[in-house]
Amino acid sequence: MNAQESDFLKLVVPAAQSAMRKYGVPASVTIAQAILESGWGKSSLARQCNNFFGIKAVASAQPGSYQEFPTSEFVDGRRVQEMARFAKYPTPAAGFEAHALLLSTAVRYRPFMAMCQVRKVGSACSELKTCGYSTNPDYDDLLFELIDEFDLQQYDIWPTPPAQAAEAVA
């Protein structure tokens, strides 16, 4: 891991762990998405809009709450370039919060959240792709490779089940 990657992790790990405690989205998946979607925080979208996840603006978004950027999408198996409106956030933490809120409340991500609840990170990555988070056909593999290569599961803070908590106190 180089210095830029280490600095990026220092920036995002607290926000990812906070989102995990509040919404149940594994920090490892959140961090992997932030790495992949923002190019380790180097993308214009991350730098200008605190949007590390490629979250698009809703159709009814007010001017000033989004910014247009070119993006690559996969349509019928082919990569195409298009312009899209992306959400803007006041701080990186606000962007991480919005990401976790989206994943934990949108109906389309329920299968993903079900895998998170049973602590199956690899299956959660697959469900994230299946739920349509990205049009990239290799999205789940790319996420899991990042999680594995950078040992991102070390940042997951799972709640202690009541039985284990009682044993720890005894």
What angle (nearest 5°) sits at the alpha carbon of residue 138, between those of residues 45 and 116? 80
pLDDT, tens digit only, all 170 positions of the chain: 899 999 999 999 999 999 999 999 999 999 999 999 999 999 999 999 999 998 888 767 777 777 787 777 777 777 778 778 888 999 999 999 999 999 999 999 999 999 888 888 888 888 998 998 888 889 999 999 999 999 999 999 877 665 554 555 55
For residues 164 and 170, what is the distance between their CA atoms, to the nearest angstrom? 10
C-beta of residue 147 within 8 angstroms of C-beta of residue 137: no
pLDDT value at position 170?
52
pTM of the model: 0.83
Q: What does the block give as tokens for 165?
A: 């908590």
For residues 123 and 72, what is the distance between their CA atoms, to the nearest angstrom? 25
pLDDT value at position 9?
95
- Residues forming beta bridges with residue 73, ordered by sequence position: 80
User: Tell me, what DSSP letter sits at residue 164?
Assistant: H
pLDDT value at position 80?
78
pLDDT value at position 4?
92
pLDDT value at position 28?
95
Structural domains in the chain, CATH included, are: 3-169 (1.10.530.10)
b or e along 104-141 (b: 16 or more beta carbons within 10 Å of the residue's beta carbon)? beeeebeebbebbeeeebebbbbbbbebebbebeebbe
